[in-house]
Structure 1
Amino acid sequence: MKRSALFVALLLATTACSKPAGTDTTTQAKAKATASGIDTAGIDTSVKPGDDFDQYANGAWRAKTTIPADRASTGVFLDVFNIAERRNAQVIGDAAKANAAAGSDQRRIADFYNAFLDTDAIEQRGLAPIKPELAAIAAISDKTVLAKMLGSDLRADVDPLNASNFHTEHLFGLFVTQDFTHPDTEVPYLLQGGLGMPERDYYLSAKPEMAKIRTAYVAYLTRIFTLAGMSDPAARAQRVMALETKIATAHLDNISSQDPEKANNPWARADFAKKAPGLDWAAFFGAAGLGGQQTFIVWQPAATAGLAKLVASEPLAAWQDWLTFHHINAVTSVLPKAFDQASFEFNGHTLSGTPAQRPRDKRGIAAVNAYLGDAVGQIYAKRFFPASSKADIQGMVKNILAAFDTRVAALDWMAPATKAEARRKIATMRVGIGYPESWRDYSALEIKADDPVGNIQRARLAEYHHQLGKLGKAPDKGEWWMTPQTVNAVNLPLQNALNFPAAILEAPFYDPHRDAAANYGAIGAVIGHEISHSFDNTGALFDATGKLRNWWTPADFAHFKQQGAALVAQYDAYEALPGLHVNGRQTLGENIADVAGLTAAYEAYHASLGGKPAPVIGGMTGDQRLFLAYAQNWRAKERDAALRSGIATDGHAPARFRAQTVRNLDAWYPAFKVQPGQKLYLAPDKRVHVW
Structure 2
Amino acid sequence: MKFFKPFIFAATGILALSACSTKGPGKENRRAVFSPENMDTTVSPGENFYQYANGGWIENHPLPDDKSRYGAFDMLAEENREKVRTIIEEASEMEAKDGSVAQQIGDFFATGMDSMAIEKAGLAPLKDQFQLIAQVKDPKSLVKVTAELHKQQIAPFFYLYSSPDKKNSEMVITNFYQGGLGLPDRDYYFDDSERGENLRTAYKKYLTTLFTLKGETKEKAGEIASEVFELEKRMAKASNTRLENRNPQKTYNPTNIEGLAEMAPGFDWNLYFNTVGLSDPGKINVGQPDFMANVAAMAKKVSPEQWHSYLNATVLRRMAPYLPHGFVDASFEMYGKTLSGQPSKEPRWKRVLNTTNGALGEAVGQLYVEKYFPPEAKERMLELVGNLKKSFARRIDQLDWMSDSTKEEAHKKLKAINVKIGYPDKWRDYSDLEVSNDSYAENVLRSNRLDFVYDLNKIGKPVDEDEWHMYPQTVNAYYNPLANEIVFPAAILQPPFFYAYGDDAVNYGAIGMVIGHEMTHGFDDQGRQFDKDGNMNDWWSPSDAEKFDKRAQVLVDRYDKFTVLDTVKADGELTLGENIADLGGLNITYQAYKMSLEGEPEPEKLDGFTDDQRFFLAYARVWAQNIRNEEILRRTKEDVHSLGKWRVNGPLPNMETFVEAFDIEESGEMYLDPEKRASIW
- Using the size of structure 2 for normalisation, the TM-score is 0.95
Cα distance in 1, alignment partners of residues 665 and 195 from structure 2: 39
What is residue 614 of structure 1 aligned with on the other side?
Answer: 603
Cα distance in 1, alignment partners of residues 305 and 377 from structure 2: 57
What displacement does 1:65 show? 2.5
The answer to whether 1:35 aligns with 2:35 is no
* 2:479/2:518 contact within 8 Å kept: yes
1:161-310 aligned within 5 A: 169-230=155-216, 232-310=220-298
The structure 2 residue matched to 1:681, chosen from 665, 668, 671, is 671
Cα distance in 2, alignment partners of residues 439 and 606 from structure 1: 39
Paired amino acid for 2:170: D
What displacement does 1:16 show? 2.5
Cα distance in 1, alignment partners of residues 546 and 574 from structure 2: 19
1:399-410 aligned within 5 A: 399-410=387-398
* 1:179/1:187 contact within 8 Å kept: yes
The answer to whether 1:647 aligns with 2:636 is yes
What displacement does 1:609 show? 2.3
What displacement does 1:56 show? 0.7
The answer to whether 1:105 aligns with 2:91 is no
Runs (5+) with no aligned partner, structure 1: 22-32, 158-167
What is residue 22 of structure 2 aligned with on the other side?
Answer: none
Q: CA RMSD in A?
A: 1.9
Cα distance in 1, alignment partners of residues 592 and 568 from structure 2: 36
What is residue 630 of structure 1 aligned with on the other side?
Answer: 619
Of the structure 1 ranges 282-291 and 520-529, higher mean CA displacement relative to structure 2 is found in 282-291
Cα distance in 1, alignment partners of residues 53 and 439 from structure 2: 49
Cα distance, 1:400–1:114 mapped onto 2, change above 3 Å: same
Aligned to 1:376, what secondary structure does the other structure show?
helix
Cα distance in 2, alignment partners of residues 342 and 459 from structure 1: 24
* 2:162/2:456 contact within 8 Å kept: yes
Cα distance, 1:431–1:92 mapped onto 2, change above 3 Å: same
Paired amino acid for 1:268: N
What is residue 25 of structure 2 aligned with on the other side?
Answer: none
The answer to whether 1:550 aligns with 2:534 is no
What displacement does 1:174 show? 2.6
1:379-390 aligned within 5 A: 379-390=367-378
Cα distance in 1, alignment partners of residues 451 and 656 from structure 2: 47
Cα distance in 1, alignment partners of residues 464 and 644 from structure 2: 34
Q: Deviations over 1:248-291 (max 9, x none)?
A: 00100000101111111111100122111122222222222222
Q: Deviations over 1:381-417 (max 9, x none)?
A: 1211112322222211111111111111221221121
* 1:34/1:618 contact within 8 Å kept: no
Cα distance in 1, alignment partners of residues 583 and 204 from structure 2: 42
Aligned to 1:522, what secondary structure does the other structure show?
helix
Aligned to 1:423, what secondary structure does the other structure show?
helix
Paired amino acid for 1:574: F
1:437-516 aligned within 5 A: 437-516=425-504
Cα distance in 2, alignment partners of residues 49 and 146 from structure 1: 61
The answer to whether 1:14 aligns with 2:9 is yes
Cα distance, 1:385–1:630 mapped onto 2, change above 3 Å: same
* 1:36/1:518 contact within 8 Å kept: no
What is residue 666 of structure 1 aligned with on the other side?
Answer: 656
* 2:30/2:503 contact within 8 Å kept: no
What is residue 65 of structure 1 aligned with on the other side?
Answer: 61
What is residue 344 of structure 1 aligned with on the other side?
Answer: 332
* 2:32/2:607 contact within 8 Å kept: yes
What displacement does 1:34 show? 7.3
Aligned to 2:250, what secondary structure does the other structure show?
helix
What displacement does 1:53 show? 0.8
Cα distance in 2, alignment partners of residues 34 and 55 from structure 1: 25
Cα distance, 1:427–1:540 mapped onto 2, change above 3 Å: same
Aligned to 1:242, what secondary structure does the other structure show?
helix
Aligned to 2:487, what secondary structure does the other structure show?
strand
The structure 2 residue matched to 1:119, chosen from 95, 115, 118, is 115
What displacement does 1:139 show? 2.6
What displacement does 1:567 show? 0.3
Paired amino acid for 1:91: I
Aligned to 1:183, what secondary structure does the other structure show?
strand
Runs (5+) with no aligned partner, structure 2: 17-28
Paired amino acid for 1:678: G
Aligned to 1:481, what secondary structure does the other structure show?
coil
Of the structure 1 ranges 560-569 and 62-71, higher mean CA displacement relative to structure 2 is found in 62-71
* 1:236/1:321 contact within 8 Å kept: yes
Cα distance in 2, alignment partners of residues 605 and 460 from structure 1: 46
Of the structure 1 ranges 549-558 and 457-466, higher mean CA displacement relative to structure 2 is found in 457-466
Aligned to 2:523, what secondary structure does the other structure show?
coil
1:575-586 aligned within 5 A: 575-586=563-574
Cα distance in 1, alignment partners of residues 504 and 14 from structure 2: 27
Cα distance, 1:614–1:173 mapped onto 2, change above 3 Å: farther
Q: Deviations over 1:125-145 (max 9, x none)?
A: 111110121122123222111
